[in-house]
A = this chain, B = another copy of it.
Amino acid sequence: MTKENLFDNIRRKRSFLCIGLDSDIKKLPEHLLDNEDPVFEFNRTIVDYTNKYAVAYKPNIAFYESLGAEGWISLQKTVDYIREKYPDIFLIADAKRGDIGNTSRLYARAFFENMDFDAVTVAPYMGEDSVGPFLEYEDKWVILLALTSNRGADDFQYYPGSGRSLYTEVINKSASWAGSDSMMYVVGATRAEMLAGIRESVPGHFLLIPGVGAQGGSLDEVVKYGMNDKCGLLVNSSRGIIFASSDRQFGEAAAEKAAVIQKQMETHLVTRGLV
């Protein structure tokens, strides 16, 4: 998907919501467990009920990988289902991969060829040749970890304590590897005040923002510091939407939660004159 397509979808749906498919089998509604593939059934229902409020879905690969080969089948079915039924959805593999070139090439094959994801999250520690293979696919995206929303972000991402932090160096250096039409950055909502500085470094890039909701980040703050003239934001919510209810009406419950966020997003888009 191109950047322009993504912005069009945001305007049409009046939403920049990404829904995280962190479909933990231990948290699925009990009545689904008799199903042949409970994880896929869950995902399909969530997507059917919420897709009009969201422009992107983000399966967290660990949740599938922890189920072995069966998990990979559920993931593949989920991707195929969304691709066929909702072709305008931006699909993110939240995999946080990254290895030497010939190995990253295989991860890229897994997510961009075997499965038709639009984007993969990548860890920057191993540098340019670990990221490059993901950038060789037309209209596919790397979403590079910059500043994450967890406590451990403090350990290395701000290094060194004074001067330019590592996360800034990651953004500045990687911005020369690819433009805003094939690279995005992960920036945790719990670090919203840092968004202003990041926007100076990469004014045109989309940012994927986890940590709104369960992890405590504020949508208003994110918009205030992070929105640009093409929106430039994908804000993710996972548990708060997909596990809104564990009864038979879990799809409706998820849709209600997603609709509330979409309304807030719409207000911001209107205020900024983007819709």
Contact = CB atoms under 8 A, between A and B. Distances in A.
Interface stretch (A3-11, A104-112, A228-236, A258-266): A104-112
Interface stretch (A49-57, A82-90, A134-142, A153-161): A153-161
A126 B145 contact: yes
A170 interface: yes
Contacts of A62: 97, 99, 103-104, 106-107, 110
A68 B63 contact: no
Nearest to A100: B150
Contact of A127 (B73, B97, B151): B151
Contact of A73 (B69, B101, B110, B148): B69
Interface residues of A, number: 56
A98 B72 contact: no
Contact of A173 (B24, B125, B131, B155): B155
B173 A166 contact: no
Interface of A: 22, 24, 60, 62-63, 65-70, 72-73, 76, 94, 96-101, 103-104, 106-107, 109-110, 114-115, 123-131, 145, 148-157, 159-160, 163, 166, 169-170, 173
